[in-house]
Amino acid sequence: MGRRNFTLIQFEGVDRVLRTHLHIAVHTQKNQFGFVKKDEWSDTWHVHVTSVPQHNRANAELEKECTRLFGVQVKIMKGHSSSKKVLDIPLSAEAIELILSNFLENQANNVRGHRKPGFR
């Protein structure tokens, strides 16, 4: 059974997801920020950041870019000094998956559109 990555709160008999804990692996000093892929086995997303992992620069970039991407305040819950982190996102797991799938689709379209002539 997979790990539970969300918090359920009951309101008048109806379950509502308030927060999702997203497990990520951060890869620093890359060319651009982005969610790269999801490791289905470990239920972990691989994320590239451009900053160096010193003086909290990579963590600050991660929180800022994820907040911009998801449209809500994103905080690091665990892993402040590790490449493996847990993000606290006040959205449902389904909403996060939809946002990330759209992000990956747009990223793939941008790569296809910026190829050099003659490059396959």
Model pLDDT, residue 19: 86
pLDDT tens-digit readout, 17-61: 578 999 999 999 999 999 999 999 999 999 999 999 999 999 999
Model pLDDT, residue 108: 81
For 71, list phi and psi in degrees, rounded to 5.
75, 15
- Closest listed residue to residue 74, CA positions, set 82, 83, 65: 65
Where are the domains positioned within the chain? 6-113
> At 117, is the pLDDT very low, low, confident or very high (cuts 50, 70, 90)?
very low
Q: What pTM does this model have?
A: 0.77
Top CATH class of 6-113 equals alpha beta
The phi-psi region of residue 39 (left if phi > 0; otherwise alpha if psi is between -120 and 50; otherwise beta) is: beta
Mean pLDDT computed over every residue of the chain:
84
